[in-house]
Amino acid sequence: MEKRKALGLSLEDVEKETKIRKKYLEAIEKNNFFQIAESAIVKGFIRNYSQTLGLSPENVLAVFRRDFKENEKGQIIPRGMVDPLNERKFYWTPKETSLAIFVFILGGFIFFFVRQYLRFNAAPPLEIFSPSDGQKFQEKVLVKGKTDKDASVKIDGTVISISEDGSFQEEVILPRGDNILTVEAINRQGKRTIINKKIKVE
């Protein structure tokens, strides 16, 4: 429409030049293509109209194909009305961003509390670095290991001290012969982890 007015042409002038009835020219300028019967006729009208105004028919038709489509009945309607209604497009908005942040924070809290709950109800960890099974000693046996820093440790029923990081080291005297050394870690909830080591004192 702007191009036609810039050229000083009325719809009647274009009608005479193109042989396209005025009501169809008005429909083309207002994008009311459904008023024109068939897709092929619409494209022909657009091509003639564009050429009369000195526009590129291919460019104008490309815009037409982008915004409009032929439905099952052969009618020209906007593409949004032809696409399936159940085809939903997702757009990331600030609302989705806020929801994602909330879910992330909530998930972090849940993970933390579940981890604390499991840790509270689980037996304490216990690692024994020395002695190893079947190891031989001369009277004194060096016991080294690590557990939770809040646990207490017993060696053959005797409580020993542990460092701030949960590690411990203690020498014990055992009778000659085969022995079963028992190391026990106990947490504040009374949960226990016990490791037995079979050793020999010569």
User: Residue 160: which CATH number?
Assistant: 2.60.40.10
Kindly give the pairing relationship between strand 126-130 and strand 136-137: unpaired
Q: How far apart are CA 29 and CA 14, in angstroms?
A: 12
Question: Where among 27, 48, 82 does a domain terminate?
Answer: 82
| 76 and 143 inside one domain | no
Q: Let me know if residue 59 belongs to a domain.
A: yes
Based on the fold, state whether residues 68 and 139 are members of the same structural domain.
no
> Alpha carbon of 188 to those of 9, 50, 100, 154, 165: distances in Å?
94, 87, 38, 14, 16
More confident residue, 91 or 107: 107
| DSSP single-letter state for residue 53 | T
User: CA angle, 56 as apex, 54 and 59 as ends, to 5°?
Assistant: 150
Could you list the residue range(s) of the whole structural domain that residue 151 is in? 126-201
Question: Token pair for residue 69?
Answer: 């489509």
Reference 126, options 83, 173, 160; nearest CA is: 160
Q: What is the pLDDT of residues 150-193, one digit of tens each?
A: 899 999 999 999 999 999 999 999 999 999 999 999 998 889 99
pLDDT of residue 85: 44
Percent of the chain predicted with pLDDT > 90: 34
Residue 107 domain flag: no
Domains held by the chain: number: 2
Domain end point (choices 30, 55, 82): 82
Q: Decide if 43 is inside a domain.
A: yes
Which CATH number goes with the domain that contains 69?
A: 1.10.260.40
Residue 137 and residue 190 in one domain: yes
Query: Residue 107's pLDDT is what?
Result: 92
95 domain residue, yes or no: no
Residue 39, pLDDT > 60, answer: no
Per residue in 47-60, pLDDT (tens digit) is 777 777 777 778 77
pLDDT higher than 80, residue 32: no
- The reported pLDDT for the residue numbered 188 is 86
The rounded distance, in Å, linking the Cα atoms of 66 and 50 is 17
